[in-house]
Amino acid sequence: MEKKLFTVLIEQDEDGLYVAKVPDIPGCYTQGKTVEQAMERIKEAIQVCVEAEKEVYPPMKFIGVQQVELPVYA
């Protein structure tokens, strides 16, 4: 069985839930009450997304994550 590596981005929403997203697969995301739960669920979501699309998703090379702070004028 061939294995593929997918990059998963995890963010926390305003309600405290952890949202896991796979940038390589459009629309592939899930959430959980903990990071561990979100990671377990994203594995299931990836399998469903890949099966549904039957497409090959070449993994992108992960470079890093950065944050930018800018003033916001209301």
User: Which pTM does this prediction carry?
Assistant: 0.71
**How many separate domains does the chain show?**
1
pLDDT tens-digit profile of 44-64? Answer: 999 999 887 665 656 667 778
Tokens of 59: 């993994």
Q: Which range of residues forms the domain containing residue 17?
A: 9-53
On whether residue 40 sits in a domain, the answer given is: yes
pLDDT tens-digit profile of 14-32? Answer: 999 999 999 988 899 999 9
pLDDT tens-digit profile of 3-17? Answer: 888 999 999 999 999
Task: Find out whether 10 and 16 touch, Cβ atoms under 8 Å.
Answer: no
Task: Find out whether 24 and 8 touch, Cβ atoms under 8 Å.
Answer: no
CATH code: domain of residue 45 = 3.30.160.250
> What are the beta bridge partners of residue 19?
11, 31
On whether residue 64 sits in a domain, the answer given is: no
